Amino acid sequence: MPNCLTLKKSNCKNCYKCIRHCPVKAIRFSGNQAHIIGNECILCGQCFVVCPQNAKEIVDETEKVKVFLQSGDPVIVSLAPSFIANYDGVGINAMRKALKQLGFYDVEETAIGATVVKSEYERMIKEDERDVIISSCCHSINLLIQKHFPQALEYLADVVSPMQAHCKDIKSRFPNAKTVFIGPCVAKKDEAEHYEGIVDAVLTFEELTEWLNAEKIELEREKDNDICSRARFFPTTGGILKTMAQDTPGYTYLALDGVDNCIAALKDIIDGKVHKCFIEMSACIGSCVGGPVMEKYHHASSVKDYIAVSSYAGTKDFEVSQPKPSDMKKAFGYIEQRSQMPSDMEIQNVLRQMGKFKPSQELNCGSCGYNTCREKAIAILQGKAEISMCLPFLKDKAESFSDAIVKNTPNGLIVLNEQLEVQQINDSARQMMNIRLASDIVGDQVVRILDPGIFMNVLRDKKSIRNERVFLAEYRRFVEQSVIYDPESRLLICIMRDITDEQNEREKKEKISRQTIEVADKVVDKQMRIVQEIASLLGETAAETKIALAKLKESISNE
């Protein structure tokens, strides 16, 4: 995992929103948690922006900067030109005043470094006779090429970024200075860490705002315009091109934003479809003013942000001392991927485990975050994803399980909507009511097959009725019936247990009991007559006999 990004595991809710928005699918799911794959991540910050649980955090270097301030060495800020869009109506002089209150020695605009970089781009186009040149200002685009499109490395301008060019310039003027870049980008933290000795720390606008608020320092609404610079256009789409002469004959100048657009262009470049072209590439839509750590709750309008930058930029360049081309060089190497591409047979085996036995079953719905079922299968084999991430698969599995229960239960099940229309009926219920096919009744009123009274009562009272014995005269069946109302789904569920055999057996026993009682009555009557005839001979014994026979009759009746 990149050091500048951390993940709060407990907050991950398996929504897969981060993987859906990750342009290079550099997120691994394991144990129902998302994990960033460091050697594949391009630090575009989209996972940070879209996470609904705020599970992803950017490492805060504020304390590190405070230590620099206490060291006694001058600490100088390189402030990204997008600050004018993040802090409405606040110019560089107001920013400098506020940051000096925090203890910084000075604040300069990164646009100074941008001026140096654009001049080097112009020199490369005119003198190096390169076919295709891709700008190297955006560290996320650099990582995209280094990690995922190494065939395009030869086209990536081997030039330092404006941040690095400016911090190098600061250190040339203040050899013992510490440099701190403040901007809207996650990737700059990684760039500063990877290329040591140039940028000592990186803060985001959000971190700066929190620091200012903690110190109760308010930014003055003072939009100065005493120094105008075209390089202030750099944080907008096409901003680099706006600063360049674009006068090389036969050369095309093109600006692209958004990783997907850049990927499409890289594929064309690798395939040899693009020639004599300078391409400005930005990972973020709208370029840096659309950066992942612009304070989004206050700045959600790319149009408004562009206007803010445009109104602050000028038509002239900063006066800078242009370094030698050799001092502007920056090496980009291939960052090897650990994931191996599985074989087609392995992919097919996983697809079958996902319930995809033929191409028509590959829905490519994207609910798991991957564009296609095949991509998802590859991710599973590479240890990035789990089969359970496939929502249609889980839905089909759950429905198959519930359907098996409904189909095989001996109880009759009927589901009605609030209009008392049959929505579902199982085989046992159809057999009870001699219904040939479910389609013969599904969608029709329940009155066609059952007395709707009990359903109307449950729907009216919103109270379920359980284990009520009912005789279905039309079907000559006794059932034990329960009707349950589910308020969430707004459905009525009728469960019927056929107790016809039990009822018949009970009636048979009751008939035998009645017959036994009748026989006992006859025996008692006959015995009483005999008793009366011999009463004189038996004396008190007659009374005892009568009592005994009465008890016998009572015992039989109770059975």
The yes-or-no verdict on residue 520 having pLDDT over 80 is: no
Q: pLDDT band at residue 319, thresholds of 50, 70 and 90?
A: confident
The residue extents of the domains of the chain are 1-59, 60-328, 341-400, 409-498, 502-558
In this prediction, residue 553 carries a pLDDT of 62
In this prediction, residue 104 carries a pLDDT of 97
Mean pLDDT of 277-301: 83
pLDDT in tens, 458-497: 999 989 999 999 999 889 899 999 999 998 888 999 999 9
Which pTM was predicted? 0.72
Which residues make Cβ contacts (< 8 Å) with residue 205, sequence separation at least 6? Answer: 83, 86, 87, 182, 183, 184, 293, 294, 295
Mean pLDDT of 444-462: 93
Whether 292 contacts 284, CB under 8 Å: yes
In this prediction, residue 501 carries a pLDDT of 84
More confident residue, 489 or 429: 429
Burial of 392 (0-12, 13-18, 19+ CB in 10 A): middle
Phi, psi of 345, deg, nearest 5? -65, -40
Whether 117 contacts 159, CB under 8 Å: yes
In this prediction, residue 549 carries a pLDDT of 63
Report percent pLDDT > 70 for the chain. Answer: 90
pLDDT in tens, 35-75: 888 889 999 988 888 888 887 788 899 999 999 999 999 99
DSSP symbols for 156-178? B--B--HHHHHHHHHHHHSTT-E
DSSP symbols for 366-413? -TTSSSSHHHHHHHHHTTS--GGG-HHHHHHHHHHHHHHHHHH-SSEE
Question: Which CATH code of 2.40.50, 1.10.150, 1.10.15, 1.10.20 fits the domain covering 341-400?
Answer: 1.10.15
User: Which CATH code for domain 409-498?
Assistant: 3.30.450.20
Phi, psi of 414, deg, nearest 5? -135, 130
Mean pLDDT of 210-238: 88
Instruction: Return mean pLDDT, the chain.
Output: 87
Tokens of 295: 């304070």
Instruction: For the domain made up of 1-59, give the CATH fold.
Output: Alpha-Beta Plaits (3.30.70)
What distances in angstroms separate CA 493 from CA 204, 298, 548, one per listed residue?
Answer: 56, 50, 54
Mean pLDDT of 173-178: 95
123, 125, 129, 130 alpha-carbon torsion, rounded to 10°: 120
pLDDT in tens, 291-303: 988 875 444 567 8
pLDDT in tens, 131-143: 999 999 999 999 9
pLDDT in tens, 531-546: 677 665 555 555 666 6
Which residues make Cβ contacts (< 8 Å) with residue 358, sequence separation at least 6? Answer: none
What's the chain's length in residues? 559
- The number of CA neighbours under 13 Å toward the Cβ of 57 is 11
- The number of CA neighbours under 13 Å toward the Cβ of 432 is 27
Whether 286 contacts 236, CB under 8 Å: yes
Q: How far apart are CA 509 and CA 503, in angstroms?
A: 10
